[in-house]
Amino acid sequence: MPFTRIALRAGKPVQYRKALTDSIQRALVATFNVPKDDIFMLISEHDAANFVYDNQYLNVQRTDDLVMIQLTVSNTRTLEQKKALYQRLVDELHESPGLRREDVLISLVEVVKENWSFGNGIAHYAL
């Protein structure tokens, strides 16, 4: 049920982008109990003029390797699960594709379950 948007600077090879999506999916499966085949992700690449960030906000030293990850999820996770996801995500992304932990920005967007339709005009999670 997560819908993931990944934004990064243009120019990374396809293997790098694949490592991003694989790492994010592993973290979601491990911490949010997402089924392995529940994967919906978009990657957008941006030139320098269209990839704007502060390289030291909150005393985190970021580089141009910054990856911004926005996850739209159902509002069913606990604070502990969210913290576990953040940690697992940076660990997975550090392992492969080798991102610095400081270069991972994560944003969760929580929606109620009836706000999902996976096709055919059906509200799949509506009670």
Note the pLDDT tens digit of each residue in 1-59: 899 999 999 999 999 999 999 999 999 999 999 999 999 999 999 999 999 999 999 99
117 pLDDT exceeds 80? Answer: yes
pTM of the model: 0.94
Average pLDDT value for the chain: 96
Q: How far is residue 116's CA from residue 124's CA, in Å, rounded to a whole number?
A: 7
pLDDT of residue 66: 98
3-state helix, strand, coil in the chain (%, to 5): 40, 25, 40
Mean pLDDT of 80-89: 98
Catalytic residue positions?
A: 2
Could you give phi then psi for residue 76, rounded to 5 degrees? -120, 0
What interhelical angle do 79-95 and 14-32 show, nearest 10? 150
99 exposure class (CB count in 10 Å sphere: 0-12, 13-18, 19+): buried
What are the structure tokens assigned to 27, written together?
């973290």
Q: Does domain 3-115 have CATH number 3.40.640.10?
A: no
Q: Comparing 57 with 124, which gets the higher pLDDT?
A: 57
pLDDT of residue 92: 98
Round to the nearest angstrom and report the end-to-end CA distance of the chain.
Answer: 15
127 pLDDT exceeds 90? Answer: no
Please check whether residue 102 is in contact with residue 109, taking contact to mean a CB–CB distance below 8 angstroms.
no
